[in-house]
Chains A and B, each alone.
Chain A
Amino acid sequence: MAGGDKSNNPVLLQVENLKKYFPIQGGKGNAKWVQAVESVNCFIRKGETFGLVGESGCGKTTLGRTILRLHEPTSGKIIYDGEVIYDGANGKNQPKMLPYRRKMQIIFQDPSASLDPRMTVGEIVGEALDIHNMCKTKEERTNRINELLETVGLNAEQSNRYPHEFSGGQQQRIGIARALAVNPEFIVCDEPISALDVSIQSQIVNMLEDMQEELGLTYLFIAHDISVVRHISDRIGVMYLGNMVELGASRELYDNPLHPYTKTLLSAVPIPDPEVSKTRQRIVLEGDIPSPINPPSGCRFHTRCPYATERCKQEVPEWREIEPDHFAACHIL
């Protein structure tokens, strides 16, 4: 959350009622669906970092990829910088994504799996430049690749090497250089540090912050490590089983969590301080996350919620602005 208040910046990305269902088993008629993302509403301001947290299977990665249309949405609407890039009402007739790919990029979780082992680093970074015809001469292309590698803290000489010759932290830097190649405005960072060692994580976090400042980037930062998300984000969305349950400014969300799930999640994060962790109160949830194939009726959290009432079992809670710029979906609020 470097670089001051961004709450007056214009909205860059708007997501309305976005849904993504994946089909499983059977064909037409008896198909079952994994309801990975269910009616998500949110917006991201220019220049800010929007954090997305939740447990595995809550749909945070799917949401990130659906926003980029790497997964085609099931329904809903995505507006990027005033232009509609997906509208469920238009059926199959959707805008072409290639021009937007230059503006919207992604950094993947596992750097060793997301880099082609048979391409050199120079080829990996340069491929994006070729696709978008960004360099006119070979020399310009080489210079640009070298410049990108230096931006992420690697040497220009390393562009002839293959991904396996690098450590995990360096591989993630290559992934970042690849995303930066096309001068994007918006980057989805999908768990960019969770595969890395603790001492390397902070290097990458600092680098992402520096690049944001220099290049004016907007991030959607997805991670399950809430301490890191809280550190880097201006605003945070909390997801549970495909739903967004709460959204608010990073500090506000921690100091004043509204949704019972957010409270639980925050209290479950271990704090590296023996005195604090001995004295603080922890809410321990019973049971496990239900399956997104048969999500619970009403509020999806009611099976584990300590405050659940009869109403929670039947009615889906409405997504509302409880306090200024602080949204939540819960009946008890």
Chain B
Amino acid sequence: MEMNNEKKLIEVKDLKVSFFTPVGEVKAVGGISYEMGYSEVMGIVGESGSGKSVEAYTIIGLLASPGKVVGGEILFEGKNLLEYDKKQMEDFRGREVSMIFQNPMTCLNPVYTIGNQLMEALLCHDKSIGREEAKKRAIEMLTLVGINNPDKRIKQYPHELSGGMRQRVMIAMGLICHPKLLIADEPTTALDVTIQAQILELMKDIQKKTQMSIIFITHNLGVVAEICDKVSVMYAGKIVEQGNVNDIFYNPSHPYTKGLLRSMPRVDEKIYERLIPIEGSPVDMLNPPEGCGFGARCEHCMKICLRKQPPTVELGNGHRAACWLLATKEKEGN
């Protein structure tokens, strides 16, 4: 997968998203920044409640009440998406960026045929296309995602397909307008491992063919290692570490990333070794700590970690981590 570093496809700058609930403000995304080039695959890893899905929903303009963007900007090819009005956003969504969701069972409409739903996406965005042409494109798309007998399948309803098939249809729907960016929110989590392997192979293959960029949201580090070029690790609404996939896996710098990698058993482990868990429970987002979100669970926690947010430290080659440990090391180095 080639990387084009000069032109940026998407730039997120200090994005903040909050949910205003009856019991108080939940800062689901607390100021995150990253950038992505063309034809890149970036993984966003994090636990449930870390803000990884909220961030993606904000890009595509699907953030629902009581969620609100409270700061920052999202630049897509230089234009700030947060300034788009409803009409512009409708036009943008699906054509430039599209999304596939975790559960293909609930995301397809049960009362319309597969073909109908595929064609709808096309007809919405391009008024010049006739129904015949749209149908032809829908069949082409189903062939691309590896569905046999596509001309028969487009007449079927979602319940007539298996889980893996439905996820393929979702992918076909996401790709039918040739978007520049595909956001995949846990696309394989609901699937079995052998089906997951099929879908991952398919996504890698399509990415190579179409050269689109993918944001791949998951909690499975194994999947990340397989498909991503870059990784952002999120914890408690913040990106704690980001970098190339090799930097993250072979040279992790943030204690949370290190802990995560250490705590997972590997199917190819040679000898039995006791797991080293991350102690404690995930942070309560209603009452987040003043300092580092991971502080309470961190084995290296210092006094300053509990009082002040850690700065993001550059480690070279796009590898960054937000941790006081690295900040103090840097100071000592100087």
Which residues of A are at the interface with B, using a C-beta cutoff of 8 A? 1-2, 55-56, 167, 169-170, 197-203, 205-206, 209, 224, 226-228, 230-232, 254, 264-277, 282, 284-285, 288-289
Q: B190-204 CB contact bits vs A (8 Å, 1 = yes)?
A: 001111111011000
The reply to whether A271 and B192 contact each other, CB–CB distance below 8 Å, is no
The minimal Cβ–Cβ distance linking B206 to chain A, given in whole angstroms, is 15
The minimal Cβ–Cβ distance linking A174 to chain B, given in whole angstroms, is 14
B37 at the binding interface (Cβ < 8 Å): no
The minimal Cβ–Cβ distance linking B47 to chain A, given in whole angstroms, is 4
**Given A270-B223, A274-B225, A284-B198, A231:B265 Cβ within 8 A:** yes
Q: Which of B87-95, B274-282, B314-322 contacts A (4 or more CB under 8 A)?
A: B274-282
The reply to whether B277 and A203 contact each other, CB–CB distance below 8 Å, is yes
CA distance A169 to B261 in the complex (A): 19
The minimal Cβ–Cβ distance linking B245 to chain A, given in whole angstroms, is 5
Which one of B193, B261, B297 contacts A55 once the chains associate, using CB atoms below 8 Å? B193
**Given A2-B272, A170-B281, A205-B275, A271:B266 Cβ within 8 A:** yes
B249 at the binding interface (Cβ < 8 Å): yes
Residues of B within 8 A of A277 (CB): 222, 225-226
Residues of B within 8 A of A232 (CB): 265
The reply to whether B192 and A224 contact each other, CB–CB distance below 8 Å, is yes
CA distance A148 to B47 in the complex (A): 29
CA distance A227 to B278 in the complex (A): 18
Which one of A169, A199, A271, A275 contacts B268 once the chains associate, using CB atoms below 8 Å? A271
Which one of B48, B165, B226 contacts A197 once the chains associate, using CB atoms below 8 Å? B48
Residues of A within 8 A of B266 (CB): 227, 271-273
Residues of A within 8 A of B224 (CB): 272
Which of A200, A270, A289: most chain B Cβ within 10 A? Answer: A270
Residues of B within 8 A of A254 (CB): 267-268
A-B interface, 4 closest residue pairs, ranked by CB to CB distance from nearest: A270-B222, A231-B265, A202-B277, A55-B192
**Given A199-B259, A227-B265, A206:B277 Cβ within 8 A:** yes
Residues of B within 8 A of A285 (CB): 194, 197-198
The reply to whether B275 and A284 contact each other, CB–CB distance below 8 Å, is no
Q: How many residues of B are in contact with the other chain, CB < 8 A?
A: 46
The minimal Cβ–Cβ distance linking B196 to chain A, given in whole angstroms, is 7
The minimal Cβ–Cβ distance linking B41 to chain A, given in whole angstroms, is 12
The reply to whether B249 and A227 contact each other, CB–CB distance below 8 Å, is no
Besides A203-B277, A271-B267, 7 other CB < 8 A contacts? A198-B263, A201-B277, A202-B278, A271-B222, A272-B222, A274-B246, A274-B249
Residues of A within 8 A of B267 (CB): 226-227, 230, 254, 266, 269, 271
CA distance A195 to B198 in the complex (A): 24
**Given A197-B282, A227-B266, A270-B225, A1:B272 Cβ within 8 A:** yes
Residues of A within 8 A of B220 (CB): 270
The minimal Cβ–Cβ distance linking A140 to chain B, given in whole angstroms, is 31
Which residue of A has the minimal Cβ distance to B50? A197
Q: B271-308 CB contact bits vs A (8 Å, 1 = yes)?
A: 01011111101100000000000000100000000000
The reply to whether B197 and A268 contact each other, CB–CB distance below 8 Å, is yes
The reply to whether A167 and B281 contact each other, CB–CB distance below 8 Å, is yes
The reply to whether A272 and B269 contact each other, CB–CB distance below 8 Å, is no
B70 at the binding interface (Cβ < 8 Å): no
The minimal Cβ–Cβ distance linking B184 to chain A, given in whole angstroms, is 15
B62 at the binding interface (Cβ < 8 Å): no
Which residue of A has the minimal Cβ distance to B244? A274
The reply to whether A226 and B48 contact each other, CB–CB distance below 8 Å, is no
Residues of B within 8 A of A268 (CB): 193-194, 196-197
8 chain-A/chain-B pairs, Cβ below 8 angstroms: A2-B274, A198-B263, A227-B265, A231-B272, A231-B275, A271-B267, A274-B226, A285-B198
Which of B200, B222, B267, B268: most chain A Cβ within 10 A? Answer: B267
The minimal Cβ–Cβ distance linking A56 to chain B, given in whole angstroms, is 6
The reply to whether A202 and B264 contact each other, CB–CB distance below 8 Å, is yes
The minimal Cβ–Cβ distance linking A209 to chain B, given in whole angstroms, is 7
The reply to whether B225 and A226 contact each other, CB–CB distance below 8 Å, is no
The reply to whether B223 and A201 contact each other, CB–CB distance below 8 Å, is no
Residues of A within 8 A of B278 (CB): 199, 202-203
Which one of B223, B269, B279 contacts A230 once the chains associate, using CB atoms below 8 Å? B269
CA distance A274 to B228 in the complex (A): 9
B164 at the binding interface (Cβ < 8 Å): yes
Residues of B within 8 A of A264 (CB): 194
Residues of B within 8 A of A209 (CB): 274
**Given A200-B281, A202-B277, A254-B267, A282:B197 Cβ within 8 A:** yes
Which residue of A has the minimal Cβ distance to B277? A202
Which residue of A has the minimal Cβ distance to B161? A288
The reply to whether A199 and B222 contact each other, CB–CB distance below 8 Å, is no
The minimal Cβ–Cβ distance linking B120 to chain A, given in whole angstroms, is 26
**Given A1-B272, A199-B47, A270-B225, A288:B195 Cβ within 8 A:** yes
Residues of A within 8 A of B282 (CB): 167, 197, 199-200
Which residue of B has the minimal Cβ distance to A204? B277
Residues of A within 8 A of B13 (CB): none
B125 at the binding interface (Cβ < 8 Å): no
The minimal Cβ–Cβ distance linking A286 to chain B, given in whole angstroms, is 8
CA distance A205 to B277 in the complex (A): 9
Which one of A170, A206, A269, A271 contacts B275 once the chains associate, using CB atoms below 8 Å? A206
Which of A198, A227, A228, A275: most chain B Cβ within 10 A? Answer: A198
